[in-house]
């Protein structure tokens, strides 16, 4: 079984692209805090590259930005290549099957204000003709 669950914050704005056949994909990375502190008492983070496909890719590009909190469900995928010096490198990406937007960022204008005051109530005619 190859399944990953992560919650983290985007470290950069998402980048939307298309394959040569026109299929949309989006790439971004997230920082995920570790649950424990190191010897200095600081909590460290791990960084993961995420790839999202098709409609989810377009939505991520439209609604996410650096700092947005997301939940990601996906699978690990390895890619090998040779760098310019001929050294074989391997990258591990998370290919997302589900993305849940937990926030859209930390800018004040992104937060819809709560309306104060009492809700407006409408009087109901009590005619005692209820069927129960």
Summarize pLDDT for 10-53 with one digit per residue, the tens: 999 999 999 999 999 999 999 999 988 888 989 899 999 999 99
Residue with tokens 């005692």: 128
Question: By residue range, what is the domain housing residue 15?
Answer: 4-35+44-106
Report yes or no on 122 lying in a domain.
no
Summarize pLDDT for 69-109 with one digit per residue, the tens: 999 999 999 999 999 999 999 999 999 999 999 985 444 44
Report yes or no on 128 lying in a domain.
no
What backbone phi and psi angles, to 5 degrees, belong to 38?
-80, -175
Report yes or no on 123 lying in a domain.
no
Report yes or no on 60 lying in a domain.
yes
CATH number at residue 86: 2.40.50.140
Domain count, the chain: 1
Beta bridge partners of 25: 17, 53
How many other C-beta atoms can be found within 10 angstroms of the C-beta atom of residue 4? 15
Distance CA 53, CA 10 (A): 17
For the whole model, what pTM was predicted? 0.73
């Amino acid at each position: 079984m190859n399944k990953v669950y992560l919650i983290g914050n985007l470290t950069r704005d998402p980048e939307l692209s298309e394959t040569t056949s026109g299929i949309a994909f989006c790439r971004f990375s997230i920082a995920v805090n570790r649950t424990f502190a190191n010897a200095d008492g600081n909590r460290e983070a791990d960084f993961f590259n995420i790839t999202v496909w098709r409609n989810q890719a377009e939505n991520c590009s439209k609604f996410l930005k650096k700092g947005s909190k997301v939940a990601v469900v996906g699978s690990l995928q390895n890619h090998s290549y040779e760098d310019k010096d001929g050294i074989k490198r391997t990258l591990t990406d998370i290919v997302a099957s589900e993305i849940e937007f937990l926030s859209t960022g930390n800018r004040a204008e992104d937060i819809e204000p709560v309306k104060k005051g009492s809700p407006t109530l409408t009087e109901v005619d009590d005619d005692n003709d209820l069927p129960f």
